[in-house]
Amino acid sequence: MVRIGRMASPPASPEFLLTRRNLIAALGAAALCPALPATGAAQGRIAVALQAKPDRISLRPGNGPGPGGPEIPVWSLGSGDLRFKRGEILDVTFGNDLPVAAALDCRGLDGVAAAEPLASRALLAAGGKDSFQLPLRHAGTFLCEPLIGDGGTAPARPRPLIVTGTSPVAIDRDEVLLIEEWRLRPDGSAIPAGNDPKDSTRIHTINGKTSYDISAPANARLRLRFINGSQRSVLAVKLENLDVRVMAIDGQPAEPFPARNGALVLAPGGRTDVFVDAAGPAGTGFAILLHDGTLARPVGKLAVSNDPPVRPAPFPPAPPLPGNDMPAQLDLKSAARFELTLGTPTEWFRPADFKSSAAPAFQAKAGRPVVLALTNRGPIASVFHLHGHHFRLLDRLDDGWKPFWLDTLAVEPGQTQRIAFLAEYPGRYLIEQVATDWAAPRLVRWYSVQ
């Protein structure tokens, strides 16, 4: 559970009782239960065209009509959520209309080795096209973005990928809240991650707006899918004075549990799905607050509308979401064990320098558990991301694991964290690390399951 102190009602810059170190450490403090068995998957093939292209965004102050702020050049895959069903197979055509080499990177999709950027599919030159399949094995909240080789001159925006299950879920509304961090120069242009943010102003948006309001009738149940679209920062988001029930993390269902003080902690690229009920009389408002490790800021609110209540009383507590066939147990005694060093560039590559002929970070036998010891030798926290498989965070004594699945983990400087996963899917997959510094480079290696 995330331990965040209760805040007083809104001063101009309200503060969580939270330090930057605690914000990162809280990523491993949740208490979830194992996912339940799946109920089956729909079948179907869908043609999807995705273009990485130059675009522009106007950072608007709110939800109302009217012009926004200055238009900012960005690189994107288009606007809006991508929504499909579990079991469908996407026949993807990816086009690169950017002036630099790029690939399509989909975070959280397990076992899609044939579409894995760099490890299986090389960066596309400007003007290039590529075709491949994306089988949607799991339901959940995922993320697609252009993986830039080198020379990015504009921020690359992620695009949410939502995969719904085949069983109905008792909600009235399903909404994505994509949180993005921007570093703006004095002229209003945005600095891409991996570049020095000197003399810039930091702002955050939800779905492209600096203040995002949600309105719902009394007793409506909302599924809110929070995504940290920041490239480098661990963030905490809080819905004040509201019962927030965590339902899934990093795309994998969880035994529902209440978020402590209504707060969630998200690593870069991390996703958390919650259920909330619009409780109270018309006009009741619940502040949405964002903490970046330094201070908290109001970024929106959830308001009970003047529409008639959708039901006489809120729904009872929700059961767990249908599961995704994740392994029920991991045999740590028979696991293959490897050590990885984070925080230093040794043996790690920038995407533009990646060569598929390089030696793998480790090789695992299909069907065997794997334990990775992640040691951060750098001066600041580093974020580790595993492609192709979700993992368990192990206890300090290596005699058990935290009861949740992740695909991303922040590791403090000087700290060693151990994670475990079942090497289910043969193929070549990336691993990534990036320091929690806007100027830090994105670094990659690869591993194989044979």
Assign 108 a pLDDT band (cuts: 50, 70, 90): very high
pLDDT at site 21 = 55
| Interval 309-322 mean pLDDT | 94
How many structural domains comprise the chain?
Answer: 3
User: Is 357 a domain residue?
Assistant: yes
Pick the closest to residue 115 from 433, 429, 446 (CA basis).
Answer: 429
- The answer to whether 247 and 321 are in contact (CB under 8 A) is yes
Q: Give dist(CA 119, CA 125) in Å, integer.
A: 16
Q: Enumerate residues 6+ apart whose C-beta is below 8 A from 65.
A: none
1 DSSP β-pair partners: none
173 and 271 share a domain? yes
Most confident of 38-42, 326-330, 446-450: 446-450
- Residue 353, helix vs strand vs coil: helix
Most confident of 5-14, 251-260, 406-415: 406-415
**Residue 349: pLDDT above 90?**
yes
Question: What CATH number corresponds to the domain at position 125?
Answer: 2.60.40.420
Q: Give dist(CA 27, CA 449) in Å, integer.
A: 27
| Interval 367-386 mean pLDDT | 97
* End-to-end CA separation in angstroms for the chain: 37
Assign 104 a pLDDT band (cuts: 50, 70, 90): very high
User: Is 1 a domain residue?
Assistant: no
271 and 174 share a domain? yes
158 and 174 share a domain? no
Which two three-digit tokens encode residue 189? 């242009």
Q: Give dist(CA 126, CA 107) in Å, integer.
A: 23
Tell me how long the chain is: 450
- Residue 53, helix vs strand vs coil: strand
340 and 427 share a domain? yes
Sheet containing 362-364, strands listed edge to edge, beginning at the edge strand earlier in sequence = 362-364, 443-449, 427-435, 382-386, 408-411
Which two three-digit tokens encode residue 9? 């009602």
- The answer to whether 123 and 102 are in contact (CB under 8 A) is yes
Q: Which of 320, 345, 378 is the last residue of a domain?
A: 320
Q: Which of 166, 193, 213 is the last residue of a domain?
A: 166
Q: Enumerate residues 6+ apart whose C-beta is below 8 A from 224.
A: 175, 177, 214, 273, 274, 275, 276
302 and 431 share a domain? no
252 DSSP β-pair partners: 249
125 and 85 share a domain? yes
For a pLDDT cut of 90, what percent of the chain falls above it?
Answer: 79
- 10 Å Cβ neighbour count for 398? 14
**Residue 397: pLDDT above 80?**
no
Provide the strand spans (E) within 80-128.
82-85, 88-96, 102-107
User: Is 36 a domain residue?
Assistant: no
User: What's the longest Cα–Cα distance across the chain?
Assistant: 63
Residues 240-267 as b/e (b if ≥16 CB within 10 A, e otherwise) read bbbebbbbbbbbbbbbbbebbbbbbbbb
User: Is 80 a domain residue?
Assistant: yes
- The answer to whether 115 and 94 are in contact (CB under 8 A) is no
User: Is 287 a domain residue?
Assistant: yes
Query: Which DSSP state fits 24?
Result: H
pLDDT at site 407 = 97
pLDDT at site 23 = 55
**Residue 119: pLDDT above 60?**
yes
User: Is 441 a domain residue?
Assistant: yes
pLDDT at site 293 = 83
108 and 162 share a domain? yes
426 and 313 share a domain? no
Q: Give dist(CA 444, CA 360) in Å, integer.
A: 11
Assign 188 a pLDDT band (cuts: 50, 70, 90): confident
User: Is 15 a domain residue?
Assistant: no
315 and 172 share a domain? yes
What is the distance of C-alpha 327 from the center of its chain?
22
Q: Which of 137, 166, 195 is the last residue of a domain?
A: 166
Per residue in 416-435, pLDDT (tens digit) is: 999 999 999 999 999 999 99
User: Is 33 a domain residue?
Assistant: no
Most confident of 43-47, 223-227, 342-346: 223-227
pLDDT at site 128 = 97
152 and 187 share a domain? no
What mean pLDDT is reported for the chain? 89
pLDDT at site 261 = 87
86 and 192 share a domain? no
Q: Give dist(CA 447, CA 237) in Å, integer.
A: 33
Per residue in 239-287, pLDDT (tens digit) is: 999 999 999 999 999 889 999 889 999 999 999 999 999 999 999 999 9
Q: Which position has the token pair 């779905």?
A: 207
Which two three-digit tokens encode residue 406? 């992740």
175 and 143 share a domain? no
**Residue 42: pLDDT above 50?**
no
Q: Which position has the token pair 């109302």?
A: 64
| Interval 282-294 mean pLDDT | 92
- Residue 244, helix vs strand vs coil: coil
pLDDT at site 150 = 84
What's the domain range around 188?
A: 168-320
Least confident span in 25-29, 62-66, 127-131? 25-29
**Residue 51: pLDDT above 90?**
yes
**Residue 5: pLDDT above 60?**
no
